[in-house]
Amino acid sequence: MNTTLIARRPASIRPSPSIAAKALVTRLRAEGRHIIDLTVGEPDFVTPRSIMEAAQAAMQAGDTYYTPSNGTLALRQAVADKLIRENGLSYGTDEIVVGCGAKQLIQTAFAATLDPGDEVIIPAPYWVSYPDLATLNDGVPVVVPCLEETGFKLSPSQLEATITARTKWVVLNSPNNPSGAVYTAAELAALGEVIERHPRVLVMTDEIYEHFVYDGQSQISFGRAVPALRDRTLVINGVSKAYAMTGWRIGYAAGPRLLAKTMSDLLSQSTTCPSSIGQAAAVRALSGDQTFVVQARATYETRRDRAVELLDAIPGISCKRPAGAFYAYPNVVGLIGRRSPDGIRIADDLALAHHLLSAGNVSVMDGTSYGLSPYLRVSFATSLEAIEAGCAAIARVAATLD
């Protein structure tokens, strides 16, 4: 096909690196290779039975028709109840939008607000899709490196220095994918003080990993820490991570009424509405017994401790203990520049990830894809056996580098 037939915007977008990595693992396994997959960004648990039963009941009751574009009233009310109960945030059902996953809602929020040249401030390391979703909507991603020495967190001085007359959004992700960084209430309040001085700037707070915070700590929503910015804050969340529902594709957003309406109007012209059956399942997830979430958090914490212990023991690698999410983000600077037994130089973390796959049959994500090098993202949303086998493979390959 003639490449000139493809419009400028999609031609500038790269495929999601994490989705591409998962597809590569699937292909290699189909070819007969035994690959240890530590790239996965989804729970390895099965959706709780009570949630599946709610979906089955909805189907049997004939709940298989279009819903409002912003989601069923029942689900929007369940989200509103959840936000007040767990996050201390009060939103009406007309300030909530349900979409086909959190990613769609981020894309739709950008489509609703970005004019050509508007800037989106994105602290790095970042979830791989933020920059591309901004670019897709004619925005300009402005990446701010947040170093390991400062806990991978954006500082108020960095934020102040980065805001310009074209800034439209500041994107905050806590707990963070990939670093696991979790902002405290005081840190969020300090960032909020900066943003308050710039009335045109909106805040997108991605809280999809909120339930996975460890060591007895808990996540604080930006809106609770900075209530003065309620009318400029959009909360992004969903049921994918907390309830092992990645394939159900149900996310939700809560924010200013005008923004919520505009997003709903845009969704009405794209997907029309999320799955009615998935929405019924999400109502049960948010409103039902939360034992599953508590147990999942405890399991992830055990896995985290083991993954960090093993990674940090590998010569050339150092690994800080992530405060949240389900990824370790080990520093691999000690392996960069070394050579493999066949003389190939490991130029960067991307080359290291490729070498680990080819020489060790272990798949991890490179830090380059997340905007900060030299690191690897190692998922512990998998079994202890896979974590131990994968870390052992990394150690074996690292030991061969000269």
Domains along the chain? 3-46+292-400 (3.90.1150.10), 49-287 (3.40.640.10)
pLDDT at position 23 is 79
What average pLDDT score do residues 142-158 get?
98
Whether omega before 374 lies within 30 degrees of 0, making that bond cis, reads yes
Residue 103 has a pLDDT of 97
Any alpha helices (H) in 241-383, and if so which ranges?
257-268, 276-287, 291-312, 349-360
DSSP 227: G
Please classify residue 374 by burial: count the beta carbons closer than 10 Å to its beta carbon, then call 0-12 exposed, 13-18 middle and 19+ buried. buried
Look at 326 and 4; give whichever has higher pLDDT: 326
The pLDDT-based confidence of 3 (bands split at 50, 70, 90) is low
pLDDT at 362 over 70: yes
pLDDT for position 144? 98
Confidence of residue 13 (pLDDT cuts 50, 70, 90): low
Confidence of residue 24 (pLDDT cuts 50, 70, 90): confident
Q: Which residues pair with 376 in a beta bridge?
A: 366
The predicted structure's pLDDT at residue 188: 98
User: What is the rounded CA–CA span in Å between residue 173 and residue 188?
Assistant: 11
Band (294; pLDDT cuts 50, 70, 90): very high
Cα distances (Å, whole numbers) of residue 96 to 16, 75, 85, 228, 318? 27, 10, 16, 19, 42
CA dihedral 366, 297, 189, 167 (to 10 degrees): 40
Q: Taking the model in full, what pTM does it have?
A: 0.95
Position 4 pLDDT exceeds 70:
no
